[in-house]
Structure 1
């Protein structure tokens, strides 16, 4: 059980999907309360009762959307894909459900006033928790299993070059040196395209990881990842005419010629470089194009 809770789990990093998730959570809460009417709502007689009850769903949507959109911005490292696990997802949902229950309790008290005997705060939180935590935890586990199976099986079918280092070395002299220049136009790194492993975004900086005398080395350049990407797009493989240094994640650019293996987990694909020393994540939006490019290189 504890091993399952420590497994990597996708951390939603697309704003549109966060809004959609908040909408469905709010809709579920609103419809559940309207249909089953717990907490004494069934005894409550008031004009526009349906609209007032659906207000619980609206409040749930607003609270959920706020937390989904603001918290990852305030705590980016805590909500990073590298640190997110099944256990953290379940804990996050538990906190979310508790806050929703607390907010809706005060909304209920404001609605009913003294017209009916309302539940106490502890009772509301307990019922809200029991309503939400079990289906939420079950959905997390099921989603983890489905995604793990999907990406693990799919990754085994993605071909890569048997000996990427040999193939890359053979084409080095056919391609000109490339230069990565920082925003100040003074700091730069000049290297053969084949020596680049990957580039990682670090706030306003980018870390370039490359081979120096056959050993991994790093250099920090003050530049956005998009700016370096435009410089890297000028390099192409002479044999295919395609750019082999591509964006695979909002925080990573990778040299596909250096990919030795592709694996998958619940978060998606992982590209392995340098005998597994580096594992680069692939964002969902890049899956199709990156897989097609890897197949063309194999």
Structure 2
């Protein structure tokens, strides 16, 4: 079980999708409480009762939006696919349930005022809400993990690639006479190398790491990783201007451009596809929004 909780799990970093998710959860909680009125709410006599109960859904929405969006902005290094696991997803969602229970309890106290009693202790309400959400949350995350793992593992095995990643395929693609020049934002710093030797480009903040093959003193091709101050979109535009027919360098992630001619193997896990380059030395993630484009490009090779 410990090993299962440490398995990689996809994280949604799109604010709009997170807001929609928070809205759905808030709407569900609001409708559930209006329909069933647990925790003694059915005995509560007050004007505009339905609207007041629906307010629990609004509290739920704001707490969930905060947990799913703000925490990622405050601790971006922790909320990355490199660190995100099944266990962390379960902790995030169950922690959200706990905070919802506490927030809604405060809201209930505010509604009732000092002169009224809800009939349910703080600890009982929070504990019941937490336990009600814990088991279905854990089950939902585990089922989602299994479904995603099967889907991407099966589909990755069907994708065409250039070879296996058991040995580095440095000589798998003949050296090309076509040179690629990438220019930094200052219009002074640049890199020039054969197009066929480019492996991938990774962006981080205002810089890009350009990973390509370069001969060392003995003439052996080795990967090098110089930095250029530039956005990934800017370098992508320069690369595409260098091609007239086929463009083997494609965006597979918001932070990665990869040379599909250098992909030796494709694997899948619950987070999606992983592209293996240079004997497995480099594993490039594929974001879900680029799945269809990448699969089409690989099949056209």
State TM-score, norm by structure 2. Answer: 0.93
SS at match of 1:191: strand
- Which whole-Å CA distance do the structure 2 matches of 1:126 and 1:82 have between them? 33
Aligned to 2:224, which of 217, 220, 224? Answer: 217
* Aligned partners of 1:200 and 1:208 also within 8 Å: yes
Match of 1:194 in 2: 196
Contact in 2 for aligned 1:109/1:118 (Cα 8 Å): no
Deviation sequence 1:88-140 (CA, Å, 0-9, x none): 00111122111111111110011122334442221221011012111111110
- Distance in 1, Cα, partners of 2:259 & 2:170: 12
Instruction: Tell me by how many angstroms 1:10 deviates.
Output: 0.2
1:235 aligns with 2:242: yes
Partner of 2:259: 255
Cα distance per residue 1:201-250 (max 9 Å; x no partner):
111111111111211110111111111111111233x7xx2211111001
| 1:179–1:191 CA contact under 8 A, matched in 2 | yes
- Following the alignment from structure 1 to structure 2, what is the Cα–Cα distance between the partners of residues 47 and 158? 62
Q: Where in structure 2 are the equivalents of 1:59-138 lying within 5 Å? A: 59-113=59-113, 114-138=115-139
Task: Specify the alignment match of 1:44 in structure 2.
Answer: 44
Per-residue displacement from partner, 1:239-285 (whole Å, max 9, x unpaired)?
Answer: xx221111100111101010000011000011000111111011111
Structure 1 residues without counterparts, runs of 5 or longer: none
Runs of 5+ in structure 2 lacking a partner?
216-220
Q: When you count helix as a share of all residues, which structure comes out higher?
A: 1
Q: In the alignment, which of 268, 293, 296 is matched to residue 297 of structure 2?
A: 293
1:268 aligns with 2:275: no
Deviating beyond 6 angstroms after TM superposition, the runs of 4 or more aligned structure 1 residues are none
SS in 2 for 1:168: coil
Q: Distance in 2 between matches of 1:218 and 1:190?
A: 13
Query: Is the CA contact 2:252–2:290 (under 8 Å) kept in the aligned structure 1?
Result: yes
Q: Partner residue of 2:218?
A: none
**1:157-199 residue CA offsets vs partner (Å, 9 max, x unmatched):** 11112386555216x12xx211111111121111111111111
The reply on whether 1:279 has 2:283 as its aligned counterpart is yes
Separation of aligned partners in 2, 1:158 and 1:282:
14
What is the TM-score normalised by the length of structure 1? 0.93
How many Å separate the matches in 1 of 2:118 and 2:14?
43
Rounded to whole Å, the distance in 2 between the matches of 1:229 and 1:118 is 62
Cα distance per residue 1:36-91 (max 9 Å; x no partner): 22221111011211111111011101111122222111111100111100000011
1:168 is the counterpart of 2:173 = yes
For the aligned residue pairs, the C-alpha RMSD in angstroms reads: 1.5
Q: What does 1:142-161 align with in structure 2 at a 5 Å threshold? A: 142-161=143-162
Q: Do the aligned partners of 1:259 and 1:271 also contact (CA within 8 Å) in 2? A: yes
